[in-house]
């Protein structure tokens, strides 16, 4: 079993910043895997996340299998649904949507996942997932039928993240939503980070190295980028090792 979480904690304690490239199986052409992954391998990316809000059944399994042929990077599932769980990956963000109040995304889907996870070799990482408003409706909001957290109430965001930590979650993920126009503000990132004793992931709408570095500077330990790579692979060139 790959020690995904242990390695993240170790990197964070060494002051290393991590970058996850997010691949949404629903938007990705599988024939494109070798070329795309070779660019990921040549970049500063440290992880590959695979997942999406709405993905056809079996597609994640097929895609993860293909990605694995071309990289040594850890592959971590970031599933929008139980159907996206495959034992071919290395790790699983076991997400609880703690910004919302839909019991399905707080405990219901987790119970449904258990039969798929018995005896698994996946490194299962309990993750508190907070959707923050970004000015427009996101797929997460639509699919989960939950409201994002108002961005002007940073105290509530910080307290929610901290409650996740107290509940035993091992990571906190601040999400603006895929393709978000407004990023998670640096002020929110730094306020959340200053209260947490666990690693912080930030994603949603990051499209440049400057924005990525600003998130790191504010306190993100892991930045997740998906759309920017999907739309313009030359973005990888600015992130060469
Ligand atoms: C979405 O945080 C991720 O869940 C990444 O967002 O696709 O906008 O990079 P982008």
Cα–Cα distance, 94 to 111 (Å, whole number): 11
Give strand ranges (E) for the chain.
18-23, 47-50, 75-77, 91-97, 123-131, 171-175, 200-203, 222-225
Quick: pLDDT tens for 189-237: 999 999 999 999 999 999 999 999 999 999 999 999 999 999 998 999 8
What's the first-to-final CA gap in the chain, in angstroms?
27
Report residue 1's pLDDT band, with 50, 70 and 90 as the boundaries. confident
H/E stretch holding 43: none
Q: Identify which of 52, 81, 130, 205 to mutate to test ligand 1's pocket (most ligand atoms within 8 A of the CB).
A: 205
Residue nearest to atom 5 of ligand 1 (CA): 204
ipTM: 0.98
pLDDT score of 73: 98
Give the residue among 114, 125, 95 at the shortest CA–CA distance from 1.
125
Report residue 113's pLDDT band, with 50, 70 and 90 as the boundaries. very high
Quick: pLDDT tens for 159-182: 999 999 999 999 999 999 999 999
Q: How many residues does the chain have?
A: 241
Percent of the chain with pLDDT over 70: 100
Ligand 1 environment, Cβ below 6 A: 22, 175, 178-180, 203-206, 224-228
Quick: pLDDT tens for 123-167: 999 999 999 999 899 999 999 999 999 999 999 999 999 999 999
pLDDT score of 135: 87
Residue nearest to atom 4 of ligand 1 (CA): 178
* DSSP 8-state symbol, 62: H
177 carries a ligand binding annotation: yes
Cα–Cα distance, 239 to 23 (Å, whole number): 17
pLDDT score of 233: 86
Domains observed in the chain? 4-230 (3.20.20.390)
């Amino acid at each position: 079993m790959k020690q995904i979480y242990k390695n993240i904690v170790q990197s964070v304690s060494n002051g290393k910043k991590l970058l996850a490239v997010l691949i949404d199986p629903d938007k990705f052409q599988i024939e494109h895997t070798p070329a795309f992954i070779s660019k990921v391998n040549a970049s500063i990316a440290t992880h590959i996340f695979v997942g999406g809000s709405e993905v056809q059944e079996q597609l994640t399994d097929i895609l993860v299998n293909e990605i694995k042929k071309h990289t040594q990077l850890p592959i971590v599932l970031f599933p929008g649904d139980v159907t996206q769980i495959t034992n071919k990956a290395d790790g699983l963000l076991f997400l609880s949507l703690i910004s919302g109040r839909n019991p399905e995304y707080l405990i219901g889907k987790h119970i449904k996942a258990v039969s798929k996870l018995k005896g698994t070799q996946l490194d299962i990482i309990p993750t508190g997932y907070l959707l923050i408003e970004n000015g427009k409706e996101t797929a997460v909001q639509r699919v989960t039928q939950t409201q994002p957290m108002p961005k002007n109430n940073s105290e509530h965001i910080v307290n929610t993240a901290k409650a996740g930590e107290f509940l035993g979650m091992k990571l906190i993920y601040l999400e603006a939503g895929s393709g978000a126009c407004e990023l998670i503000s640096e002020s929110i990132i730094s306020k959340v980070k200053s209260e947490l004793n666990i690693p912080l992931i930030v994603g949603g709408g990051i499209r440049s190295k400057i924005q990525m570095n600003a998130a790191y500077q504010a306190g993100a330990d892991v930045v997740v980028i998906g759309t920017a790579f999907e739309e313009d692979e030359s973005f990888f060139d600015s992130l060469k090792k």
